Amino acid sequence: MTILETITTIDNGFDPDPCGVIDAIGTTADGRVVDLWITNEGDGPLIHPGASFLPYGGVYYNPLLVSIAA
């Protein structure tokens, strides 16, 4: 399953809520675990960097994810 398919599966497991945020865990190519936030305002799921990205510059830090889980 691709990361996009996994994100879609996680998103489909929750009731629609345009203000809701789903917490997810991602694994980077170098083995680090990072938290992610998934939102869906009606146009499909979007993934955002979670709080673990703050030491790395927030949204400017974009690692290569190799897996994701709810």
What is the pLDDT, as a whole number, of residue 21? 86
| Residues comprising the chain, all counted | 70
What is the pLDDT, as a whole number, of residue 33? 84
What are the residue boundaries of the structural domains of the chain, listed by start? 3-69
Listed residue (37, 24, 34) closest to 63, CA to CA:
34
Consecutive sets of 10 residues in the chain, 70 residues long: mean pLDDT of each? Answer: 81 83 85 85 82 60 71
How is 22-69 classified by DSSP, letter by letter?
A: EEEEEEETTS-EEEEEEE-SSS--EEEE-GGGGGGTGGG--PPEEEEE
On whether the pTM is more than 0.75, the answer is no
What is the pLDDT, as a whole number, of residue 19? 84
What is the pLDDT, as a whole number, of residue 45? 85
